[in-house]
Amino acid sequence: MVTFIVDGMLGSMARKLRIYGFDVLYDAEGLDEDILTIAERDGRAILTFDKDLHKKAILRGLKSFLVSGEGDEDRIVAVFKTFDLKPELSQEKSRCPLCNGDIKEVGKESLESVPESVLTRHDRFYSCVRCGKVYWMGSHWIRLKNLSEKIRGKL
């Protein structure tokens, strides 16, 4: 599976790709040279808005995609087409949109920081093994599924 490193201008897209289950490194303040070094070391494809960074990557023989488009929907469609990826949105395969950590299902009884009203409305919960952030299939997940349907329609 392809792994990515994303430049500082594409944070929102990086989070959405993580939700799709892709391993995406992102540092809002990452320097071009650091991005190139990590991409080379880890075999990651670079996603960037920066023409100069893209040119440097290509000259080094690295995989790089110069992202364009007005919003995340068009940008993600372009990435999926370029890398021949399938838009399979699944909570079980998602990665933490905040830190890129793996997510696992957890029982309600182990959750202390989730409001009681959320615990009573939802049955399945997921937690990031790295940062501990808790997720459930609420309204945010519904919006993501709608976005995913639009993306699938454009592919």
For residue 94, being part of any structural domain is answered with no
Domain encompassing residue 122: 103-154
Most confident of 27-31, 58-62, 147-151: 58-62
pLDDT in tens, 116-142: 888 889 888 999 999 999 998 887 888
Confidence at residue 109, expressed as pLDDT on a 0 to 100 scale: 83
Regarding whether 28 and 67 lie in a shared domain, the answer is yes
Residue 135's φ and ψ, nearest 5 degrees, are -130, 155
CA distance 40 to 4: 11
**Model pTM score:** 0.91
Q: What pLDDT is attached to residue 79?
A: 96
Please count the other Cβ atoms lying within 10 Å of the Cβ belonging to residue 131.
11
The whole-number average pLDDT for the span 60-73 is 94
Q: How many domains does the chain have?
A: 2
pLDDT over threshold 90, residue 115: no
